Each structure stands twice: as C-alpha cells, then as structure tokens.
A and B are shown apart, each in its own frame.
Chain A
Amino acid sequence: GQQLNQSPQSMFIQEGEDVSMNCTSSSIFNTWLWYKQEPGEGPVLLIALYKAGELTSNGRLTAQFGITRKDSFLNISASIPSDVGIYFCAGHRGGNQGGKLIFGQGTELSVKP
C-alpha cells in the first residue's frame, strides 16, 4: 500500500529552537492531518487541513496544506521538552473513504533542555 514520505526521520534539537517537518506524496489528498504520539499512547490529532493552501495554527504549532495537494508541512515554534514524541502526517482522499488514512513514517523529535 502507498505511504507518505515524511522527513526528517528524527530530530535532536535544543529547547527554544523552531522545528520544521514535511510530508510528500505522489498523489493528491483532500485532507491532511498531523498527529503526535507519546510513548505508550495512541496518536492524538494536532491539526487538520481541508483546503489547498490552508494555513492553520494550534498554539505553537502551524501546519500548511500544500498548493499542489501533494504535500504538507508542520512547524513547531520555540520547542519545549514536552514536545518530545513522534509526529505523523496522514492523508485522506475524501469521498467514501471514511477514516481510511495513509500515514507517513513519522518524525521522532527529541528536545534537549
């Protein structure tokens, strides 16, 4: 099955730094989602994007739906230790696909105090 290409695979940053990660696909998606997974837990939705070009923020997090509908970006500003976790992008093709999502491989974020 298809997967999204997410990069980078891992990041080691200092507290206070900004973080950027992205996700690309060879095909179009109608919805892009960004999830965060903490150890021992399931993914939790951070941001949902529904329109090409859309820019949405959730606190220090900002995500964008690429104009081509084949990519998406997540930025975290002024990182803090509790930002540690694995961040996943996910795409949804719309129509009657329900909750069928295609996930990226994940970006593991480590924040040094």
Chain B
Amino acid sequence: EAQVTQNPRYLITVTGKKLTVTCSQNMNHEYMSWYRQDPGLGLRQIYYSMNVEVTDKGDVPEGYKVSRKEKRNFPLILESPSPNQTSLYFCASSDSLFEEKPFFGSGTQLSVL
C-alpha cells in the first residue's frame, strides 16, 4: 500500500528542546516536502526536497531544518522549538519535479509549551 508515514502522530514538548519528526514514503518518489497547517491559514510549505541531498526553503522555513540522506526519508528538525511552532505538520511526496499532486501523510500534531 502506497504510504507516507509520519512519526510521531502527537508530540508535546517544551521550549528549546530539540526534536525530530520523521517522514518516510514507500513510493520511490523523488520530491518530498513539509507543510504546517494553522487555523485560518491553510497549509504553508516549510521546506522541500527535489532529490537526495537537494533541499530548499519553502514559504515559512524559519526555525526548521531538514535533511535528505536517503530517497525515502525526509525528517523535519526543530533545533530549538518555540511556542509559535505549535501546529499540525504534514509531510508529502510526489513522483517527480513535474508531478503536481503530492500524496500527504496523516499529520503530526506538535505542541510546544
């Protein structure tokens, strides 16, 4: 079954404590991205990756890092989380640079106290 798997589904942490949200896809997709969803704002792209070792900033990259060492994995790293990063996060993957229909994971609800 085609899947984008995020872990954890729920995370409560404190300000400044480094955390990583993992994302893995089993469709051999080249393109992966991270979005955050906030009420009234829809989904906004944080970072994207066009292939292994190729990453670039999306619309709201401040406070986040990513890495793409393997094609299937695209972790999102918060080095020093702050309360304004409390949000619902989605990982997505697409088949190629020209695939316009990303496939989304089920989300990670993050609360930073």
> Taking beta carbons and an 8 Å cutoff, which residues of A are in contact with B?
1-4, 6, 9, 31, 33, 40-45, 48, 88, 90, 92, 94, 96-101, 103-106
Contacts and interface: CB of A to CB of B under 8 A. Distances in A.
Contacts of B104: 42-44
A3 B100 contact: no
A100 B31 CA distance: 9
23 contacts: A1-B60, A3-B41, A3-B44, A6-B42, A42-B4, A42-B104, A42-B106, A42-B107, A43-B43, A45-B101, A48-B101, A92-B100, A96-B97, A97-B97, A98-B30, A98-B31, A99-B32, A99-B48, A101-B43, A101-B102, A103-B35, A103-B43, A106-B42
Contact of A43 (B40, B44, B90, B98): B90
Interface in B58-106: 58-60, 90, 92-94, 96-106
Contacts of B90: 42-43
Given A40-B106, A98-B94, A1 B100 contact: no
Contacts of A106: 42
B100 A33 contact: yes
Cβ-closest 9 pairs across A and B: A1-B59, A42-B104, A99-B94, A99-B102, A103-B42, A98-B31, A103-B43, A92-B100, A98-B97
B7 interface: no
A99 B107 contact: no
Contacts of A103: 35, 42-44
Contacts of B60: 1
B45 interface: yes
B50 interface: yes
A104 B42 contact: yes
Contacts of A3: 41-42, 44
A48 B102 CA distance: 11
Contacts of A99: 31-33, 48, 92-94, 99-102
Given A105-B42, A106-B42, A33 B101 contact: yes
Contacts of B48: 98-100
Nearest to A29: B100
